[in-house]
Amino acid sequence: MNTFVSTLAKKKEMSVRVFSFVIALVCVSVVFGCEKCTEEAVRQSTQHLRDATENSHYANRHEVVVYIPQDQTNQEGGTNVHSGVSMSRVEEIARESGFFFGGPTGPKDHYLFYRDMNDRDESHNLNDMHEITWWQEQMPKYRFKRDEWTIQEQEQQGGDNTEEGEEEDERDFIWTWPSDSLLKDQFHLVNPTSVPNGPQFSGDPINLNVLDCWMAGVNGSGVIGAIVDDGGQWDHPDLIENYAEEHSFDWNYNDHDPRPHTYDSHGTSATGLFGASRDTDCGVGVAFGAKFALQRMLGAFPTDSIEASALSYHCRDGIDIYSCSWGPSDDGKTRENPGRLARLAMEECVSEGRGGKGVVYVWAAGNGRENGDNINRDGYASSRLVIPVGATDSHGVAAYYSEPGSPLLVSAPSSSRYVGITTTDLTGYSGDSVADCTHRFGGTSAAAPMIAGVVSLMLQVNPELTWRDVKHILVHSSRPTDIQNGQWNINGARLVHSHNYGFGIPDATDAVQKALNWKNVPPEIILQSDTIRPNLEIPKAGKNPGTARSTWFAPESEFEIPIYLEHVSVNIRMDTPLGYGKLALQLCSPYGTCSILDTPGPGNGKTISWDYLSVRHWGEDVIDRTAQNEDNRQQNTNTHAPNEWRLNVMNVGKHSSDPVVLKEWKITFYGCRL
C-alpha cells in the first residue's frame, strides 16, 4: 500500500416507463426514438414481468411475515430473566397458526410463514399467538428500473485482481492500459483522447477521473459490491472473472443462480459499469478489480420480504456496497417508502455491516424529471441511509430525465438523447443489442453503479471508512458542473450544492486521496425540534401563487453545543383539497440556505404526511453562531434570526372551496460534533 500512496500522492488531480430492455426483441435495427417501438416495448416488458410473477413461487402461495423477538425479558422478583424464543418454537408457532415455516427473512427476528393460496381467505391464529408482536401479508410490488433508452441514433455494433501476495504485487505493480477495444467509448471513465487508439476530437467529455487511481494500482481490489437488480449474466466474458458466487442469490426463484430472463439485460449492464474486468471486450468497470455479487429480485414483482432479503444478504459477512438502480414509479404522482422489512433490513446493515462500519447503499435518484418528479417523493432514494445519484450528459449538463431534489448527493456522467453508455449486454440476441456489448445503456441506472465503483476505490485504500465517512468524502471531492445554469448555492458552511447536481460529479482521484488519510467522523447524533402545529391556512393563488410561512426557533439552551449537520429531515402533515401537486415547499436555515423540498406536479392526493430530506445544509449548524452571515442569505430578503428555521409553502391552486392547511411539521437533525 505504501507504493500506492506514494504513487497517488504525485498525481494531483425518461422518465422511467419500462421495466426492462426489450428493444432487441421488438425493433432491432431501427431508430431508438421510434414511438411505436417503445410503446410495444413497454407492453411486452410489462407482460413479461406479469408472467414471471405468476410463475414465481411466492405469488402462488399465501405468504405472511411475522415478527417474533428473540430477546425478551420478564420481571420476576425484580430480576430480568431471558426468555428468548427458540427456532423450534417458531416452527411450532407456524404450524399452530395454520402455516408452514419458510425460515428467517430480511431483518432479524422476522420469519416467513406460508400456506396454500386457496387457504388465503381462511381464518388463522396469528393474532392469538402472544409471541408474535407484528405480522403482515406479502404482496408483489411494482418496481421500475431506471434505465433510459430513447437515444436518437442508430445502434452501434460493436483484469487485474490480485488479492494474494499483496506486498509483492504492490512492489512490482506496473501500469498498462487495458486492452479493451471499447474503453475509448467509455467517456464516463477517462477522456477518450487519452486512450491509445482513441478518437481525436476537441472538447473534453466530463468523466469521473479514475485514470490516476488505476495507474496507482487502485482498482477496487478486496471490495465486494452487490448489484441488486434483475440478475446478471455472470458468465459473460467481461464479468466472470469478478463474480462472487458465494454472495449471490436469486430471490425470485429461490436458488443460487441469479441469471436473468433472456429479455432482462438491465442488471448485466449495471454490473459491467461497476466491475467488468479489464482486457476483455466491452470496456471496463470503474472498479475492475472489485468482486461483485448479484441479488436478483426484479425478475418479477418483488414483495417487501424479498426486497429486505436482497438488500441485506451477507451484509454482515462479505458485501461492502449495494448498488440499486430501481424504485417506485417516476410518474411524478407516486409517493412510496420502503416497506417495514426493507427499512429495518437497511437500518441493521448500516449499523452492523462491515464490522459495525456500515455497508454503503448507492441509489439511482430517478428518471422522472420530464414528469415533474422529485427525488423527495421516492422514499428509497431520499433515505438518509443511501447515496442518491443523479445523471448528467457527456458535457456535464443535467440529463433531461434526471430528477432534481434536496436529497441529491452527487451526479455521474450518463446518457443523453443522442449518446449512450457503453457496457456489457446479454450475449447473443438475448439482450439490448445483437452484440455482447451495448452502447445505449443509460439513465440514473447507469450513474449509480459508477458511483458504487468510486466507493470501492475509496474502500480499497481505507477499509476503515464508515458509511457516513464515504458520504463526507464524496461531498468534499465532487466538482460543480454547468456553473452558469446549474443553480448552485453556497451554504453556511461554504459548501456548494445544486438541486440538479447535488455537490457535483465526484473526482475519483481526489476521493481516493482524501480516503487514504481520512479521520473517521464522530458517531452520529440525532436531535429534533418540537412539533410545530400552526394550523396555517395557505391562501389560494390569484395572479401570483398564495404563500405562507411557519417558523421554529431553536432553543439555544438545547442546542448550545455546535453541531456539524449532515442530513435534515422534515416531517410535514397538510390538508391539500386540490392535491399536493399544487404545492411547493421550502425549508430555510438560519444561514439563509433554502432547500426546495417539493414542487408543483401531477400529484392529486388530498393529504400530505411525508418525510422530506435535504443534504443542502451539510456542514451548517442548527444555530448560526457567526457574527455576520449576510453573504449566505442569498435566497431571502428578510434577515433570519440566528436560530430561526422557516418552512415556506406556496400554493398554485386557484379553484377550491376548502383551504389548504399546514397542520404540523417537525425537523430532525442528523450530524455530529466535530
Per residue in 494-542, pLDDT tens?
Answer: 999 999 999 999 999 999 999 999 999 999 999 999 999 999 999 999 8
Distance CA 158, CA 150 (A): 19
Whether the per-residue pLDDT at 159 is higher than 80: the answer is no
Report residue 169's pLDDT band, with 50, 70 and 90 as the boundaries: very low
pLDDT, mean of residues 426-439: 86
Lowest-confidence pick of 246-255, 353-362, 432-441: 432-441
2-13+159-516 shares its CATH topology with 525-672: no
Question: Does 434 or 382 have the greater pLDDT score?
Answer: 382
Grid coordinates representing 216? 496507482
pLDDT of residue 72: 47
pLDDT of residue 586: 98
pLDDT of residue 201: 65
Residue 173, SS3? Answer: coil
pLDDT of residue 413: 97
Residue type, 324: C
pLDDT of residue 500: 98
Lowest-confidence pick of 204-208, 343-347, 497-501, 623-627: 623-627
Distance CA 98, CA 563 (A): 52
pLDDT of residue 580: 87
pLDDT of residue 39: 59
Distance CA 508, CA 154 (A): 32
Lowest-confidence pick of 162-171, 320-329, 364-373, 508-517: 162-171
Question: Does 600 or 429 have the greater pLDDT score?
Answer: 600
Could you tell me if 459 and 226 are in contact, meaning their C-beta atoms sit under 8 angstroms apart?
A: no
Whether the per-residue pLDDT at 674 is higher than 50: the answer is yes
Helix, strand and coil percent figures for the chain, each rounded to 5: 25, 25, 50
pLDDT, mean of residues 273-292: 97
pLDDT over 70 for what percent of the chain?
85
Report residue 80's pLDDT band, with 50, 70 and 90 as the boundaries: very low
Report residue 81's pLDDT band, with 50, 70 and 90 as the boundaries: very low
pTM confidence score: 0.87
pLDDT, mean of residues 661-669: 98
Whether the per-residue pLDDT at 673 is higher than 70: the answer is yes
**Beta carbons within 8 Å of 20's beta carbon, 6+ residues apart:** 45, 48, 49, 145, 230, 261, 263, 264, 265, 266, 298
Give the model confidence (pLDDT) of 188-231 as tens digits: 999 888 898 888 765 678 999 999 999 999 999 999 999 999 99
pLDDT of residue 640: 83
pLDDT over 90 for what percent of the chain?
71
Name the nearest CA neighbour of 666 among 499, 534, 548, 576.
534
- 76, β-bridge pairs: 79
pLDDT, mean of residues 481-500: 96
Whether the per-residue pLDDT at 59 is higher than 90: the answer is no
Residues annotated as catalytic (active site), given as ranges: 229, 266, 445
pLDDT of residue 194: 87
Whether the per-residue pLDDT at 154 is higher than 50: the answer is no
Name the nearest CA neighbour of 389 among 367, 412, 372.
412
The cell 477521473 sits on which residue?
Answer: 209
Question: Does 574 or 47 have the greater pLDDT score?
Answer: 574
pLDDT, mean of residues 139-154: 65
Question: Does 263 or 621 have the greater pLDDT score?
Answer: 621
Report residue 42's pLDDT band, with 50, 70 and 90 as the boundaries: low
Q: On the CB side of 286, how many CA atoms lie within 13 Å of its CA?
A: 36
- The domain defined by 2-13+159-516 folds into Rossmann fold (3.40.50)
Name the nearest CA neighbour of 151 among 389, 401, 488, 388.
401
Could you tell me if 310 and 251 are in contact, meaning their C-beta atoms sit under 8 angstroms apart?
A: yes
Report residue 639's pLDDT band, with 50, 70 and 90 as the boundaries: confident
Whether the per-residue pLDDT at 412 is higher than 80: the answer is yes
Question: Does 471 or 140 have the greater pLDDT score?
Answer: 471
pLDDT of residue 84: 67
Whether the per-residue pLDDT at 22 is higher than 50: the answer is no
Question: Does 64 or 27 have the greater pLDDT score?
Answer: 64
Question: Does 507 or 40 have the greater pLDDT score?
Answer: 507
pLDDT of residue 474: 98
The answer to whether domain 525-672 has CATH 1.10.260.40 is: no
Q: Domain residue spans in the chain?
A: 2-13+159-516, 69-132, 525-672
Could you tell me if 382 and 399 are in contact, meaning their C-beta atoms sit under 8 angstroms apart?
A: no
Q: What is the average pLDDT value for the chain, to the nearest integer? A: 87
Question: Does 612 or 140 have the greater pLDDT score?
Answer: 612
pLDDT, mean of residues 261-274: 95
Give the model confidence (pLDDT) of 554-610 as tens digits: 999 999 999 999 999 999 999 999 888 999 999 999 999 999 999 999 988 899 999
pLDDT of residue 630: 53
